[in-house]
Amino acid sequence: MSKQGSPHPMMDVPDAIRMVLEVTAKTLIEKDIPPHEHEAVDTVSSNSPVSDLLDRILADDVLMSEPGYPPYRASIMDGYAIQSQQLNNNNNNNEWTHQVLGRVHAGPAAIKTTETETAEGLPSAVYVTTGARIPDTYDCVVPIEEIEESPDKLQIRITTEKASIEAGKWIRDVGCDIPAGSVVLPRAACIHPVSLGLLLQSGQASFKFVQPLRVGVLSTGNELLVSSETWANGNSGELIQTGQIPDVNKPILLSLLESFSKNCKPIDLGMERDDDIESMTSTIRNALETCDIIVTTGGISMGETDIVEDVLVKRLGGTLHFGRLNMKPGKPTTFVTIPTSGNNKRTCLVFALPGNPVSATVCAQLVVRPAVNMLLQYRSEGVPSSVEQMTQNTFVPPEIVATLTYNLKLDTERPEYHRVVLNSSTTLESHGKGLQVTAASTGVQRSSRLMSLRDAQGLLCLPQGTKEKPEAHAGEQYPVLLLDDRHQPIRLRDSLHLARKAPKKTRVAITQVSQDPTKYALRSENEITEQVQRALSGSKSGTVEVVSCQRFSILPNDLDVVIKGGHDVDIWVVACSGSFTYSLDISTGLRKRVGKIADAVALQVRRGASAQDGTAALFEPVVGYLQSENASQGGCILVALPTLGLEAGLGNVRGLLKHALNVARGKPHNHHH
């Protein structure tokens, strides 16, 4: 093997993460699990220990069983249960109003009464405690505070107004907290302490949980000590002679994966030498049958002993999706999918991470974790059909923006995920604007130096250094990916770091206004569209999209008709043709209707236009900001200029217009009428 340089293109990290998720989503869609059905479900009995229920993910809705909760009519007060219709005595005189038939405490103490009238001729009552089951014959409870009892507690007198006593008072009806048949917990819910309580109230005998994700972890390399050897001071001398080191990647990754989710179950696949391709192949082949994901470390760079890629691709028939990342640390990170051969055909995701412990750990966080998140999320939620939708909704590390407090040399080869500690402080300038977070390096960033990760709270995303910009400067802000588990993850669609850098098209509307189309010819739609596209983007098929093209023959007084149309665009070009006075009136009219007039830009328009056509110098171009009627839409930059000289006039301010738009939209909008 003597390949010079890697055959794999270098992929940017955001693209790589998106690719991992898209491939993962496709494997889920291919499997085509019917909704509400799971290949991997555990059924757990409701009287299992709490630890068997907590943190698990429901594979199905949990419904409230009959008759609902509470399962019987329960008293809300300590007091007496009575029949509300039977309260006919005047309770202002001192006579007893009810005869007490018995006492019911919360708990299994059923009292069966059918009598509503006692031998004494008084209506009956039963003493009840909070939570006691109300005997069927009664329909309300009178709290003890509103009752006078005889010394032997066999008679009572209700002391409150009759009006305050009504059917249903102080009774929780059957199913009033949770009606029978309602969804107590939806599928995909994770069981937290409160949902544990709800599970038990549901009255179901057992629950269906999604099986944990199985992630195998394999270390490779001849230098790694096998578990029977220890690397203590006593024998280190001998081991130094033999060039051996402890395997730290496997323990780090096993525990890191476990920390990702209680539903991620790491599996120790042991260690493989890098001079025994047969053994490594068979270990990974076996692991394919039991793992959803396999993570290997070491043996994936360009050295003679780096055999992992050959094992995965040539021996095991895997598809390589990327083999190099444009990042530091972690360049050799490789992503392969391998179809399994067993009767349960699946696709196994394999991440071959570099051997240096910092690279392996950072790439597990950055690249493996989102795939774990996606598999867990859609195993339980069921799989929507769109790869894009699944990718956008997957959880990724949370981000903040931090300020550097000192200059930091940028890596000249690749963008760097620089390990940092964070500090929050309220400075005088930031007062009232919330906390300002500052980032400080953890020191030498060499990928073997695990100490650089010890106290790291995040990865500062630094661009590659260039001749022009070799350093990141104190005061500059960069995104930080948070590694700390206490922060809520965010969805990919909300990530600044992973945002697709698709060139945004500038949306443009064109309106031609003419004093008299018979005298001042209007341009055809195609002609003027092409002119505007060339002027604003330098080519016909550039970054400019003309979304509407209208023509009006109007008087300056009717300008409102033109403006009213509403322009949900970035730039609105008004091309004007007519006499000198007509043009001047149009300019004046437009000036009154737009805000944030940019006369300096207008002057540039005029210079360009009159260079193309001398008569254009007579026109007063207008450049300003037009707030859209729908305030949430923002507004557009209006450019009014003569049709003669249009292309050169617009072309002269190509860059300025987009800048003006950003400035105008970034600030509160004012109207100057």
Binding stretches for Mg ion (CB under 5 A): 221, 298-299
Q: Write out the H or E segment, with its range, that includes residue 577.
A: strand 571-577
Beta bridge partners of 245: 224
Q: Alpha-carbon distance 385 to 28, whole Å?
A: 9
Which residue's CB is nearer to ligand AMP, number 318 or number 329? Answer: 329
Name the residue among 442, 473, 468 with its Cα closest to residue 456. 442
Three-class DSSP category at 225? coil
Stretch that binds ligand AMP, among 245-253, 395-403, 421-429, 657-665 (CB under 6 A): 245-253
In the bound complex, what is the minimum distance in angstroms from residue 281's beta carbon to ligand AMP?
17
Residue span 174-213 as binding mask against ligand AMP, x where in contact by CB under 6 A, dash where not:
----------------------------------------
Q: Which tokens go with 147? A: 């009752």
Which residue's CB is nearer to Mg ion, number 299 or number 624? Answer: 299
Name the residue among 387, 376, 360, 357 with its Cα closest to residue 293. 376
195 binds, among ligand AMP, Mg ion, none (CB under 5 to 8 A by kind): none
In the bound complex, what is the minimum distance in angstroms from residue 300's beta carbon to Mg ion?
8
In the bound complex, what is the minimum distance in angstroms from residue 330's beta carbon to ligand AMP?
10
Instruction: Count other Cβ atoms within 10 Å, centred on residue 105.
Output: 14
Interface residues for ligand AMP in 209-238 (CB under 6 A)? Answer: 219, 221, 223-224
Which residue's CB is nearer to ligand AMP, number 76 or number 451? Answer: 451
Number of chain residues interacting with ligand AMP (CB under 6 A): 19
CA torsion angle for 647, 650, 655, 658 (degrees, to 10)? -130
Preceding amide of 67 cis, omega within 30: yes
* Distant-in-sequence, close-in-space partners of 433: CB < 8 Å, separation ≥ 6: none
In the bound complex, what is the minimum distance in angstroms from residue 246's beta carbon to ligand AMP?
7
In the bound complex, what is the minimum distance in angstroms from residue 253's beta carbon to ligand AMP?
9
Which residue's CB is nearer to ligand AMP, number 141 or number 257? Answer: 257
Name the residue among 420, 449, 560, 575 with its Cα closest to residue 512. 575
Which residue's CB is nearer to ligand AMP, number 448 or number 662? Answer: 448
Interface residues for ligand AMP in 298-327 (CB under 6 A)? Answer: 298-301, 303
Q: Is 532 in the site for ligand AMP (CB under 6 A)?
A: no
In the bound complex, what is the minimum distance in angstroms from residue 233's beta carbon to ligand AMP?
19
Q: φ, ψ for residue 338 (rounded to 5)?
A: -130, 125
User: Could you tell me if 331 and 15 are in contact, meaning their C-beta atoms sit under 8 angstroms apart?
Assistant: no
User: Could you tell me if 201 and 184 are in contact, meaning their C-beta atoms sit under 8 angstroms apart?
Assistant: yes
Stretch that binds ligand AMP, among 39-47, 70-78, 295-303, 321-329 (CB under 6 A): 295-303
Q: Is 272 in the site for ligand AMP (CB under 6 A)?
A: no
Instruction: Count other Cβ atoms within 10 Å, centred on residue 5.
Output: 6
Which residue minimizes CB distance to ligand AMP? 355
Q: Is 249 in the site for ligand AMP (CB under 6 A)?
A: yes
Sort strands 124-128 and 171-172 into parallel, antiparallel or unpaired: unpaired
Stretch that binds ligand AMP, among 98-106, 107-115, 243-251, 283-291 (CB under 6 A): 243-251
Q: Which tokens go with 255? A: 């525990």
Interface residues for ligand AMP in 348-387 (CB under 6 A)? Answer: 354-357
In the bound complex, what is the minimum distance in angstroms from residue 485's beta carbon to ligand AMP?
23
Which residue's CB is nearer to ligand AMP, number 297 or number 373? Answer: 297
For every residue of 600-642, DSSP letters joined together read HHHHHHHHHHHHH-GGGGGS--EEEEEE-SSGGG-EEEEEEEE
Alpha-carbon Rg for the chain in angstroms: 37
* Distant-in-sequence, close-in-space partners of 234: CB < 8 Å, separation ≥ 6: none
54 binds, among ligand AMP, Mg ion, none (CB under 5 to 8 A by kind): none
Site for ligand AMP, rule CB under 6 A = 219, 221, 223-224, 245, 247-249, 297-301, 303, 354-357, 448
